[in-house]
A and B are shown apart, each in its own frame.
Chain A
Amino acid sequence: MMRCIDSREKAMADRTAAHGRLEDVASTPEEFDRVVSQALPILLERAGNCTRRFLRETGQWSDDTAHEKFVLRWSAEYLERFMLYGRSEVPCRPLFLLDSFVAKQHSQPEPFCYHPELLAPLGRFLDGLVARAVISRDALIALYHHCYGMSPRDVIAVTGLNESESQRIYKNFRRWRESGWQRTMDEIGMTDAELEQLIVRQERHPQRFNHEAERIIRFAHDHYRKSEPDHYPCLSRSEWASMFLEGYGCNYRLWHLALCVDCVQMTWDLGRHKASTVEKPRLELRVRP
């Protein structure tokens, strides 16, 4: 009993000391790294409190596990960026720099994609995939598989890539299967039970499940497409046709078609290598990579 109290007191003392160090000035990047890496739980909690307060003040908060997970996910995201950018802000007081960094993120018009439906397991899964696609090319290419069940060859056919560009698609698929998918699931907090639950739901009511997935993914697409290069808008079929025919805008095709259900359904047959196996894409969610 006494030992337990002692260890708790020691933990409290350590925490207080770490907190104190975070309030002191870090003069060099190395010192910043050291102080921050020793106090990651405190900083995560601090970022979480700021995010929770933001959600409360904007009327988006509810006391449940889904919201807590949402807060944790975004707090970790902020903290990761803070650890990177803070090094170039020395000399600084890390604790207060974190506050200002998180406040700056929240001052943006839509700091994150929030919708009650995106907090349920299916919404969280789709939101996580699309959010990851914005920062990872592997995840971007994997969207073609998760949404439409395409293989690397189908992706190459649908996007009309040439020989040299198509090699990377295989690499993207491989890396996603090896580690990307699992890392994304870890980061969005999807448990194995939740994933299994999604698979069972899809097996029982495939049509209803896919219909719901399409509705949610359109919402996520609308939000995250703002992060793609701003000169990649939706095009008419004739404009897409000329792009495919003349072979320019490779990135345009890959980025936009992965994040736009309507455009991929409009252009699926425009690729130069018309593979007979490719059918008009319909949203049929694949949970596993």
Chain B
Amino acid sequence: MEQEQDLADYRARLLDGLNVSARRSICGPSDLIQVFVNERRVGVLDGKEAEATFQFQCQGRVDTVHLRSEDGVLLGGLSAPGYGFRAARISMSRDAVELRIHNTVQSGSASAVFIPAPRRWRHILRAIAGSAQAVIPRPSGAAIAPSMRIGALTQAFLAIIVLGLAADRITAWMTLERIPPPVTRAEAPWAATLAEVAKLEQQLGDLSRMQATAVDTIQSQQRGMAELQRAIAKLAPNKETVPSDVLTVRRETEKRQTGSDRERDQTPRMVMNKGQMDQKQLEAEIQSLAVMNERLSEDMAGLVEQNRDLEKKLESAGLEVSKATAVHQGDVMTARHPEEEQLTSPPLVVDTRVNAQPFLFWVNFSEGTTQERIDQWVNEMQGHKGALNEGWQEVQVVQPSIPTDRFLEQVRETEIVKAVRVSR
């Protein structure tokens, strides 16, 4: 309930504020007026200046222009057309600001001209020439600059005086027609007055000419002032961006200085970089070679170990073969004495030595047997090929563990072998 009341109060306060918004500013006429374009503050209008102007141009469209006092109160504004021109006159107490927006396809521009209320002496002058002002037709609609108004009023005032004097002269001439000349000064004292009037008329004519010259001078000065203000207005947006431009130039200069230093250092730095890169590459290659080397040495050690094992196996195999041969011989000569056994031991050793020698034989292969098949067979036999003579291939194998005849029988049973012989 309390919250609802709070909200209702807030709503009522906001509505009150909207009703009197433009009257709430406590800024004086001499305070600055802030100009916002597209909700961004772009500059100020100085109320102290006679006809302060502000111009703004941007690349995009101008959507809105609004004026705010320094205390933030919205004084007036104008929304822009999509394309084209729009103007409005914003009244602020006695002063006014004329807003103009012009949007084209490429860009948008906005201008604000502060038109102050006429000063007190101008009011007095207007009061004097009040009747004259009624005579002169007012230009409709467009705002007239106060100085122009004053010029026109002065001229009207002079014209009335001249008309009055002229009417007086005409009356005088008509009177003269009725009274016959000559007339003496004593008889007609008004005659002297007439001369004085003529003199006065001449003086008035001179005065009006001087006045016209003065008005011309004032107008030319006003034109000069207007041109000066236009020039100031054109410079105003630049003035806002000057600080950032100065900074940009400084940054550019620093960048260029840094750039030239960089170019100077670039060549040796490049060479150094290249050298460093080459060095790194070499180091990497050396490292990979070292790793490879380690692996190779490990492989080699493994192979040596394997070789030793193989040699041991071969040795043991040889021993087993010799033992087997000895057992076979033992079966035949069962009655031999241990002494004789001791005597037969050397042939075992001899046998072992003999067995280590390669066994040589010659093979005649069947017709049509390819060389590849022959090589494969030799490899299977763990042998080596020797010379080829009249169709007989010399083959060298490790001494077979079985008897030679049997071995040769097995060779003959091979499919590709046509004939086998031991002697050449």
Q: Which residues of A are interface residues toward B (Cβ below 8 A)?
A: 37, 40-41, 44, 65, 68-69, 72-73, 76, 79-81, 83-85, 87-89, 132, 134-139, 168, 171-172, 175-176, 178-180, 183, 186-187, 189, 191, 227-233, 235, 239, 242-243, 248-249, 251-252
Contact = CB atoms under 8 A, between A and B. Distances in A.
Contacts of A189: 6, 10, 13
B26 A80 contact: no
A83 B18 contact: yes
Interface in B9-29: 10-11, 13-15, 17-19, 21, 24, 26-27
Contact of A231 (B3, B7, B17, B241): B241
B343 interface: no
- The DSSP consensus for interface residues of chain B is mixed
17 contacts: A40-B18, A40-B19, A44-B11, A72-B11, A80-B74, A83-B18, A85-B79, A139-B72, A179-B26, A180-B72, A189-B13, A227-B41, A228-B40, A228-B41, A231-B240, A233-B244, A239-B250
Contacts of B244: 231-233, 252
Interface size class of B (residues with CB under 8 A): 35 or more
B76 interface: yes
Contacts of B40: 227-230
A58 B255 CA distance: 44
Interface stretch (B62-70, B118-126, B317-325, B368-376): B62-70
A72 B9 CA distance: 11
Interface in B97-128: none
A243 B243 contact: yes
> For chain A, what secondary structure do more than half of its interface residues adopt (helix, strand, loop), or is it mixed?
helix
Nearest to A131: B72
A116 B165 CA distance: 82
Contacts of B78: 85, 88
A72 B10 contact: yes
Contacts of A69: 7, 10
Given A65-B6, A138-B70, A88 B86 contact: yes
Given A76-B18, A175-B27, A229-B40, A68 B240 contact: no
A134 B42 CA distance: 12
Contacts of A179: 24, 26, 71
B27 to A, nearest CB: 7
A35 to B, nearest CB: 14
B214 interface: no
A249 B248 CA distance: 13
B70 A242 contact: no
Interface string B245-278: 0110010000000000000000000000000000
Contacts of B240: 229, 231, 251
Q: Which 4 A-B residue pairings sit nearest by Cβ, starting from the closest? A: A136-B72, A249-B243, A85-B79, A231-B244
